[in-house]
Structure 1
């Protein structure tokens, strides 16, 4: 791809981000994006087939990084010897969230697009997908505790979902409000400590 094409793509992406951030995916106008980018509709379709494809190009890399890193943290914990898991509960998760915090702040626009502007796309379910991973991991940990002779107290699945959703929404509040990164690091540590202690309490551990 030549320098001119790269410049045109960059202009389209800049115009698209502005339009999506202002109006959200569903209300964003492809006509406005093309107009503000200073290209013809025909030129746009030389690069992308649809508004959906354009949005995907803007956010997909950030989405995949978030989901892959979050999934890896759970797998890393599950692969520990079961005797080590109680002592490591919360630690690997906090390391993961610290990594994701830095990445998120380096890709702030992309995550604003996902968190605030993605209704009507598959990316609107990112937090829900993370919640599902968290609940699944919790159920696996119950079985580990049973194997160790330390069964957890019965927890209603609706409460599990509420707690996991609350934890992740609290995390993403830092992004939505663009809290200074150094403040966010402190906030994240306190958030992780709060939820770890809370889970241990209701699990009877």
Structure 2
């Protein structure tokens, strides 16, 4: 019980002040402990921050890995992921996922500077980049991709798309504001990626619509 109380108080301190501004002394006071007692549980502030965020951070990583695998599985059945309704549904589910764990997303994105988790979101971006590269490669294997961007530009585009979605956390929007923002962002991202990753099917549809 003491350790759980300590983690709860540490989480409150980190959310309020971020990793750099958080004080072990202040955390000890909130937990009605001595600073020395905290060090019997955790050797330093980094270890304490890690204990606060790790369970949810692991869950987040697993969730995004699952999304990546699902996208590639769809291609095995010759189904495209870039259908608008599918993309919209998936992205709104991600928003729900974020807001059900918003405090930890907030810590990882806005409050982790100086900690060992400072680059955690970068690792998620790299995961998404690898997934996108695998998706493009699979489209090429299926001979349904018209063209693809150079690798160095793809990296920039993926990371910028990621940042646009995570702006809901950076700006600390409430859930209602986030859904309003996503209703504008999703069509923007959809138009950009469908144009960038033009497939034979999309190209044929466009020609038919012109006729």
Q: Fold match, TM over 0.5? A: yes
- Contact (CA 8 Å) 2:82, 2:194: kept in 1 or not? no
Q: What's the TM-score, normalizing by structure 2?
A: 0.79
Instruction: Say yes or no: does 1:25 pair with 2:19.
Output: yes
Match of 1:48 among 42, 63, 73: 42
CA distance in 1 between partners of 2:60 and 2:172 (Å): 18
CA distance in 1 between partners of 2:58 and 2:115 (Å): 15
User: 5+ unaligned residues in a row in structure 2: which ranges?
Assistant: 200-211
Counterpart for residue 123 of structure 2:
129
CA RMSD of aligned residues (A): 2.5
What are the within-5 Å matches in structure 2 for residues 85-104 of structure 1?
A: 85-86=79-80, 88-89=81-82, 94-104=88-98
CA distance in 1 between partners of 2:19 and 2:89 (Å): 32
CA distance in 1 between partners of 2:57 and 2:149 (Å): 30
Match of 2:138 among 136, 141, 144: 144
- Contact (CA 8 Å) 1:145, 1:151: kept in 2 or not? yes
What secondary structure is seen at the aligned counterpart in 1 of 2:41? coil
Instruction: Say yes or no: does 1:169 pair with 2:169.
Output: no
CA distance in 2 between partners of 1:66 and 1:123 (Å): 13
Q: Output one character per residue of 1:15-62: Cα deviation in whole Å (capped at 9) or x when no partner.
A: 323432344323432123213432112322333232122111211122
Q: What's the TM-score, normalizing by structure 1?
A: 0.81
- Contact (CA 8 Å) 1:73, 1:93: kept in 2 or not? no
